[in-house]
Structure formats: structure tokens, C-alpha cells
Amino acid sequence: MTTEGNGIYAATITPFDESGRPDHEQLAAHLKQLARRGCHGALLCGTTGEGPSLSVEERIALFAAAAKAKTGLRLLAGTGAASLEDTIALTRAAFEMGLSGVVIIPPFFYPAPAPEGLFAFYAEVIRRAVPEGGAVLLYHNPPVGAIPLSLELIARLRDAFPERVIGIKDSGGDRGHTRRLCDAFPDFRVFVGDDRLLAPALEAGGAGAITGLANLFPDLLRDVYDRYQRRETLEEAQKRLSEARLQLEGLPRIAAIKMLLKAGRIIQSARVRPPLSPLTESEYAILRDRFHLEVRATSGVDLSELSGPA
């Protein structure tokens, strides 16, 4: 399998202005700094990007703004929705704008849909919205979407659409499951969504990572990825990455990432959209202490170059 398209992708946040609308200028600026700091690509409107909280029109406008920014990043669009027609509209728009591919989570409202129903959902989207040669990544995220993608369903979709269903974002956080994906589909691009699994995934044949932590520490993810490409040992680099992720444990992850980006003067507002909530005073105090934000700010450290806890 060619390694073109592999690498480190930021599951990017969606900046909002003070009125609560998506801020296209802030998004473009953030994407450009991600490119400068080593990301190969970015996922728009995924879980970290609050995609399910955005309207179809807002998501399409964000796709357009990212494409217009011409960052050099490979751009993926999160196009999954509970509605089949919304998913089709989003997917079609992403390809019409020239984005590199789409990431589609299963429809997440009805619990435990039958495999036949899930296959029909994906097949309809692909037939109606994905052009020949268009890249589709499935999205396995049971902790959030509550609907797993079985190996049997993945195999069936691969067999039906071998040139379009080219990979998966595995955010289940289960090392054994990631290994089973890599073993079952050696020609499939398996991207992990859990930073702690990057090294073992690469060693099992995985393609890279698509993670929210890459908004903050793309250098730590690139260190693991680049060391693997050079056939160097990964243990210490993976340890540094896992320790950085640990600093966000126990905090609302999206709100914390946005607060750190605001502290780094990368975005102007840490606002999240309901039903998410901003950090409480106590949560902010934990974040401040873990990352020594006041020390960094007064010592002249450029917070846009955060590489881990101080």
C-alpha cells in the first residue's frame, strides 16, 4: 500500500466568534499554524470540531473557508450525520470543493441498528455523493457515537467500494481492536484517534493519527511518526506524547484545548457551542496549574509553540 495520505492529522477545533458563529478567519489562521508546525492534514467538523452541533450550512461554509485558505494541508471533512440526506449533502459538497476525503461516523440516533441498515446507509452515501477515486474513511467511535463498526461490515463495504472506502479513523481507544483492524485489512489506512496508541498502531501497520491533541502538540505526534519512518525506537517519544495527553484527563477536552489555544493567542475566543460548556473556574485552575500558563505568559514564552506541560 502506498503511504501517500498517511501521517498526522489534527482533528481541528471550530473557532467561534463572541456571537457564537463559526469564525472562518480564525479557522484559516489555525490551519496555517498547524501546517507550519508539521501536520500533514486536518479533519474539519469532526468530534473535536463540534461537527454534530453545527448546521449543514455552517459545516459546508467551514469546508469552503478551509479550502480557500490554501494551507497545503490535506483536508478531510467530517460529513456524518443522523440524517442520510444531510450526510449526502455534506459529502457531496466536500468533494465539490476539492477536499481530500471525508470521514463518516455511523448515523447515531437510533441504538443498535442492524448491520444491513448500516450497510445501506453507507452504500447510499457513497453511490450518490462520492465520485470515482473519492476517499472515504469510516469512523469507529463507540464512546461518542455508541454505534461500533464491525469487521464484517467494514469488509463488506470494502468489497463493494474498494476504490473509495480506503480507511478508518479508529477512536475506540482499544489497542486490541486497532491491531485486529490492521491485521484484517493490511491494505486499509487505519488512523488512530487515541494518541496513546500511535506507536503500537504504526508498528502494526497503521497509517497515522487523527487526533484533537494535534491542535496543541503536533510536534509530539510528528516525533513518534517520524521516528517510525526512520526505524528508530518509539518508546520515549510515545511516552512524551502520552504524558501530554494525560494533562487533559479529567477536563472537558474540547473546552480545554480551546482555552490553551486562546492562551497561545492562536484563536481569539475559547467559546464552545451548547450543549458543551466552557471551563468552570475550578477546571481552568487545574489547566492553568498543569500547563503553568501564567509562568509561560510572563516569561515571554510563545504559547503557540506549546510542546507539552512546562
Please write the tens of the pLDDT for every residue from 228-249: 999 999 999 999 999 999 999 9
Any idea how long the chain is?
A: 310
Cα 110 vs. chain centroid, distance in angstroms? 24
Q: Rounded to an integer, what distance in angstroms lies between the CA atom of residue 11 and that of residue 82? A: 20
| Total-model pTM | 0.93
Domains and CATH numbers, the chain: 7-246 (3.20.20.70), 250-300 (no CATH)
Which of 15, 41, 39 lies closest to 26, judged by CA?
A: 15
What are the tens digits of pLDDT across the range 188-236?
A: 999 999 999 999 999 999 999 999 999 999 999 999 999 999 999 999 9
pLDDT per position as a tens digit, 80-129: 999 999 999 999 999 999 999 999 999 988 888 999 999 999 999 999 99
In sequence order, which residues have a C-beta less than 8 Å from that of residue 98 and are 6 or more positions away? 67
Q: Stretch 126-140: mean pLDDT, rounded?
A: 97
